[in-house]
Amino acid sequence: MRSYGQCCALAKALDAIGDRWTLLIVRELMIREACRYTDLKNGLPGIATNLLAERLNEMEQSGLVTREAAPPPVATTLFRLTARGRELEPAIAALGRWGAPLMGNPQTTGDEFRDHWVALPLRLYVRDRRPKDAPVRLAIRAGEESLTLETAGDGSVRVQPGTSERPAASIQGPPHTILALLTGKVSLASARAKGVRFEGETKTLERFGGPE
Amino acid sequence: MRSYGQCCALAKALDAIGDRWTLLIVRELMIREACRYTDLKNGLPGIATNLLAERLNEMEQSGLVTREAAPPPVATTLFRLTARGRELEPAIAALGRWGAPLMGNPQTTGDEFRDHWVALPLRLYVRDRRPKDAPVRLAIRAGEESLTLETAGDGSVRVQPGTSERPAASIQGPPHTILALLTGKVSLASARAKGVRFEGETKTLERFGGPE
DNA sequence: CGGCATCCACAGTGATACTG
DNA sequence: CAGTATCACTGTGGATGCCG
């Protein structure tokens, strides 16, 4: 994109990440840590393959992304965010908070949905209300996506792709109902009515909540 | 712009404000409160007039901006942010923080600069370290722009365009040196060496600082 | 002068096809 | 799998014109 050519921090940020698709690529890499080209393409429905390639090159140039050749078992290139790229998290959180009211039901809007997208709001909005208690691990199966949520000890939670070993509890169901349950927007009873299956100590659930 | 068509809060936010120039228009309105078309055009060097008109229409449609006919002394349309538009402040702050390291010296980069732009970082980054003390008003003349900075009582500061009545102190000089002085990045002595003139109680200055 | 609308050259985008 | 190539289309920037 053309630079705005303005000596302003916001304009400079937009010069770097204001291009179409760029912030969504950051979103994918923030969720998945290391991605193959094809993972990115699947996680970004609607992107043209030439644009994805072009953006990845630009983002590598500007120090947001690194490209590494994975050893034989994988034998492909992996894309990762750099530290500088991960520093976009507060901006993405703020934009996501602002954009949340604009989301409609994907059934009626026809919007694309990917189960793994729920990892981002989980990471950004779910708080550990008792950070000093013993750490807890939660197994989540949101749609077809398996995630592990664990308390980080500072009030935040870590969300990793994959299944967990010996979780304190497990939740399975539609992604956005799981999110609503863990941020305290719906009760366990009404989440169950919407298809959520919860196994384990109920009071594990009380440990989690939304912001503030 | 085309919608991403994704059921994701970030994608929805970008659908609304991801267009080129849109966030910079929000920046202008956040600094100036009420703007004429021409004020916006002057504050956004490089924008084509048709694009400014088009963006303002889109932003009015999507509820970010209102247009009001000012009464006879002014006799022109004024553009303002709606409450929803002002809610973008955290996102703009986060992006600005991220973009700040990318700013170079406008002398060498050839970037455009407007004195009033400094009001945004002043408002976002300058903190009142003793919110419980009596409120204080500071007269600032950054380049050719007159601003009033006053403590809000909650640790933040308000920054308004225009001159102040009976300020506790006054600062005059190059915009970014004034910003560096008020966020505590440079001492009064070295700010003076860079062309800042400060009048009033020196300890007024100690009341202010950057984030954290 | 303030607030656009119109026109044009060109850069960015999206769909598809093709390749090592 | 990880792209590159092609091409129609849309968005952008610059200039200019119009109207109260």
Give me the number of domains chain B comprises: 2
- Is residue B78 in a domain? yes
Grade residue B106 by pLDDT with cuts at 50, 70 and 90: confident
Computed over every residue of chain A, the mean pLDDT equals 93
Examine the domain organization and report whether B77 and B136 are in the same domain.
Answer: no
For residues A121-139, give the mean pLDDT: 94
Indicate yes or no: CB of A4 within 8 angstroms of CB of B94.
no
Most confident of A122-126, A163-167, B69-73: A122-126
Over chain B, what is the mean pLDDT? 93
Q: What predicted TM-score, i.e. pTM, was given to this entire model?
A: 0.93
Domain shared by B126 and B203, yes or no: yes
Instruction: Judge whether A48 is closer than 8 Å to chain B, CB to CB.
Output: no
When CB atoms are compared, the residue of A92, A99, A106 closest to B16 is: A99
pLDDT of residue B79: 96
If asked whether residues A82 and A145 sit together in one domain, one would say no
Q: Which of A77, A102, A127 is the last residue of a domain?
A: A102
Residue B152 lies in a domain: yes
* Nearest-CB residue to B5 (from A12, A16, A46): A46
B-chain residues near A111 (CB < 8 A): 5-7
- Domain span holding position A70: 9-102
Residue B76 has pLDDT above 80, yes or no: yes
Which residue in A8, A51, A111 has the most chain B C-beta atoms within 10 A of its own C-beta, making it the best mutation to test that interface? A8
**Residue A1 counted as domain residue:** no
- Asked whether residue A180 is domain-assigned, the answer is yes
User: For the CA atoms of chain A, what is the radius of gyration?
Assistant: 18
What CATH number did the domain enclosing A123 receive? 3.30.1050.10
- Same domain, yes or no: A121 and A142: yes
Across residues A103-107, what is the average pLDDT?
82
Whether residue B170 is found in the same domain as residue B202: yes
Task: Identify whether A3 is part of a domain.
Answer: no
- Residue A109, in any domain of the structure: no
**Residues of A numbered 54-113 whose beta carbons fall under 8 angstroms of chain B's beta carbons: which are they?**
87-88, 90-100, 102-104, 106, 109-113
